[in-house]
Amino acid sequence: MSFGWMGLRLLGLKTRNRTVSPGVERRGSLVRGLVPLAGMGLLLAAMPVLLGGCLSLFSPPSPPANFSIQGVVRSYSTGAPVANAAVSIGDKTTVTGADGRYALMDIPVGTGTVQLQCGAAGFMARQDRISGVQRGQSLDYDVYLLADGTAGRISGTISYSTAAAPTLSAAASAARPTTAASGARVLPLQRSPAPAGISSPARDVLVKFRAGTSRQDVQRYASAHGAFIVRYNDVLDAWVLRPKAGAQEVEPLARSLAVNANVVYAEPNLVLHALEVPVNPSPVYPNDTYFGAQWNLRMINMPQAWTLSKGSTTIKVAVIDTGIQADHPDLRGHVQGGWNLWDNNNNTDDVGIPNGSGPRIYHGTHVAGIIGALTNNSMGVAGVAWNLTLVPYRVFDNQGHADMDLVAEAIRRAVSDGVRVINLSLGVPPQPGQELPQTMKEALDYAEQNGVVVVAAAGNEGGSSIDMPASYPTVIAVGAVEPNGNRPAYSNTGPELDLMAPGGADSGVASDMILSTHWSPDNVPTYDYMAGTSMAAPHVAAVAALLEAEGIQDPRKIRDILCSTARDLGSPGRDDEYGYGLLDAYAALGGSRPAPPLTAARVFAGSYDAGSESILVQSYYGYPNSGGAYSFPALAGSQTVFGWVDVDGDGRISAGDYFGSRGPVSVAAGGATTGVDFTLAPVPPTGATALPQAALGGLPANLLEVRVIPGPAKR
């Protein structure tokens, strides 16, 4: 018998307004020109417009069709501005003044990659490739020129290493931890305590009586034990009883009823709570797509996966949460059916959860956007699955509470409604010595017996035990990773952990979190950032839906595919910190992750600076042809030559990129250094320790997230 369970909680951490730090390789803020709401305290106080917990100030302007770029042309050697330098992109040309400044306006975006050319008397001409430009952006881009007589030319050929790609994890069919004879998992006895103020005791007892027990019998049992009937849950065939003396009598009441011969089981009815860090988020009102900000989708190879499957509207995914705003402009048409279990009606609109003194957090809508926001529609964010049906089951009240019986009922209802995948971004830390509650166990068994995949968040306590219900053997337990592929401190570990997926960092930096749909007042598409294992789980649920759309409909087979194709993280093979590794949607769907073409690489000369943990570039960029041949000017002296494919477009040499180097090589002013050939190898999640030492070029053995800085003024 199971007693003493405390509150379950939503497993999202916090929200932030999007910020982007400017820099040569950054493409500027997607919200440039809009005033961040978080910085408008005085203005907001004077504008009492409050809609659904979100402030609505204005509609975003229509984005310009083209983009603009501006910056300063400087001498590499001195950092001084260069006057009379000609700067051009396509048919747009300008000449710098005495301050070296230039600006090009109304430039067509085209394919998103443009060529910038710059030349001035006394300097070597330069040509840069700028990728990832978007409509309406205003880019800051400084250009550094090498003076005549200070540089030579380096040339050679790059190629890809024949070394194997990062090792995949062990087969997912390996045994999970043992369970009790009853089939319920014996949870670990020790864990880190939950944050103060998060958990609260159950208010009620959930009782399942044997067949033939009448309501009068239940009323008699309740009265005899100093309790009263709260409700009968017909889906679970169980009664919710509340002790008149208060919550302190919940466990004694459960123990007393459990020994009754007419009782199948009696257990505390868990209370679910929101796990949120109080912040004051400001919703983002985008004027165009935010796909460039969705590092999470690139991390799990969604662009490649979409070449294999975009899903099917016949596949239903249940979001058991706070509800979903079905008329959100970026979700409209994807949300159908469902049930409100709190009010026992079909109003499944997102009720949100409290966020201290800040606006409410619409957790279910955020989760829904990760799974299946409208994609390729020139609006907002992309979802993992382009085509599917989201089915909301609201189990939370407007204070962020839910009862366990309602979650169990929602699971059963979802199965009966024909749902193929269930997402549970909620959980409760296990208490010492306690088994999974019988109510939840029966609901999860019912889902598996009917071929339904269940995915749940591992928990945000930073402990060594996985939350319930993720800890149950039939559930896919998902932990979180940050943009650099590391596990954040909040993500729980343990023997029940299956997979990792992007959940974001609890760093306070918006761009390190997960951007998705949020409550949208007045039909204005609104988005916000959150972090937590709540955000990690829906990535896995959505990829499971893609597998379902491809005809794979056995939950055990789907688990095996997802785990066996994951990219191994941490210790080789499965481990308690990273499970089987990072979700890889492309590999799960049968893709082989081919290397990008060599034309995607940049080759440059420079040196590693330990103080800034960066490569300081002392050359122009060279762009190889399809055969890998390159040539570029470099500052005279001893140089290391680097080659790099920035696969995820984050401006850093990081896991998943391709990287290599050769050096030192001697460069003579006015001379030519030829035959500098070398190979590029994939950067594994563990950093450079798995790269050939010859490829490091003086970089530290623990290389991970190294920046590339293009000139001395940036040091």
Catalytic residues: 321, 363, 534
d(CA 229, CA 676): 81
Query: In this structure, what DSSP letter does residue 51 have?
Result: E
384 and 371 in contact (C-beta within 8 Å)? yes
Helices (H) and strands (E) in the chain, counts: 11, 39
How many other C-beta atoms lie within 10 A of the C-beta of residue 635?
20
- Overall residue count recorded for the chain in this entry: 715
Q: Considering only CA atoms, give the Rg of the chain.
A: 28
Rounded (10°) angle between helices 533-549 and 555-564: 110
Residue in the block written with tokens 């910038």? 116
Query: Strand pairing of 204-209 and 238-243?
Result: antiparallel
435: closest CA among 487, 473, 492, 476?
473
Angstrom distances, CA of residue 434 to CA of 263, 424, 620: 20, 21, 63
Shortest CA distance to 293 belongs to which of 85, 137, 472, 98? 137
- CA–CA separation, 97 vs 147, rounded Å? 18
Burial class (CB in 10 A: 0-12, 13-18, 19+), 68: middle
| Closest residue by Cα to residue 659 from 610, 697, 700, 711 | 697
What DSSP element (H or E) covers 439? helix 438-449
> How far is Cα 97 from Cα 102, in angstroms, rounded to an integer?
8
**Token output for 291:** 């796909």
Strand partners of residue 660: 643
Q: What are phi and psi of 534, to 5 degrees?
A: -60, -35
Phi and psi angles of residue 230, each rounded to the nearest 5 degrees, phi first: -90, -50
CA 182/CA 177 separation, integer angstroms = 14
Nearest to 392 by CA among 345, 352, 340, 353: 340
Cβ-based burial of 122 (10 A; exposed 0-12, middle 13-18, buried ≥19): exposed
Q: To 5 degrees, how large is the angle CA 706–CA 710–CA 711?
A: 125
Q: What is the C-alpha separation between 237 and 263, in angstroms, rounded?
A: 12
Q: How far apart are CA 266 and CA 238, in angstroms?
A: 9
3-state helix, strand, coil in the chain (%, to 5): 20, 30, 50
Both structure tokens of 13: 């951490």
